[in-house]
Amino acid sequence: MRKSTFSAAERLKIVLEQTGGKSVDQICRDHQISAATFYKWKEAQQIETDENKKRLDVLEKENKRLKKMYSELSIDHEILKEGYELLKKIRAQNNGKG
pLDDT (tens digit per residue) in 21-55: 899 999 999 999 999 999 999 999 988 888 989 99
So where are the chain's domains? 8-97
What gap in Å lies between CA 50 and CA 48, rounded to an integer?
5
* Each residue's pLDDT tens digit, 58-70: 999 999 999 999 9
What gap in Å lies between CA 22 and CA 42, rounded to an integer?
14
**Burial of 38: CB neighbours in 10 Å, binned 0-12, 13-18, 19+:** buried
- Residue pair 27/18 in contact (Cβ under 8 Å)? The answer is yes
Q: Is the pTM of this model over 0.75?
A: no
- Residue pair 27/14 in contact (Cβ under 8 Å)? The answer is yes
